[in-house]
Amino acid sequence: MNRIRVLIAKPGLDGHDRGAKVVARALRDAGMEVIYTGLRQTPEMIVDAAAQEDVDVVGLSVLSGAHLTVFPRVLHLLQQAGMQDAVVVGGGIIPQEDVSALEEMGVAAIFGPGTPLSTIVQTLQTLAEHRKAQHDISPD
């Protein structure tokens, strides 16, 4: 069985990454392969890393309030790179009223402060399994 490959990225000027590192460790402990890009990543850098690492999931951690700018840009660049099937999830400080807008854009899940790590792990496992099932039945 192939391990789920997850890219965790901190877009923008936000300099706080403790939560992203905690989530990365929980995903790694659950058997996923995690690539952490570090702080102050541009959407272009994130998508380049996602393509190079051939990831299943792109996780964006945003605390700066730039989620309505960053997420659509990453989704657009993933599509341009032929990676529109990559699962995009987000976490951080994202107001509840923005969650539905992000989901409509194509973000698969949003995890706010206090989300149990087990919920994040289970959700990513489910999303990755669903992605794999779509690949197995789609004609290429």
**Gap between the Cα atoms of 95 and 93, Å rounded:** 6
The Cβ of residue 73 has, within 10 Å, a number of other Cβ atoms equal to 16
> In 87-134, where do the E strands start and end?
87-92, 109-111
pLDDT for 51 beyond 70: yes
Q: Once rounded to an integer, what is the mean pLDDT over residues 1-15? A: 88
| % the chain with pLDDT above 90 | 83
Query: Going from the N-terminus, what domains does the chain have, and what CATH number goes with each?
Result: 5-133 (3.40.50.280)
Backbone angles phi, psi at 2, to 5 degrees: -75, 140
pLDDT digits (tens, 9 = 90+) for 104-133: 999 999 999 999 999 999 999 999 999 888
Average pLDDT over residues 34-41: 94
Residue 140 — pLDDT band, cuts 50, 70, 90? Answer: very low
Three-state secondary-structure class, residue 121:
helix
> Which residues, in sequence order, are bridge partners of residue 59?
8, 89
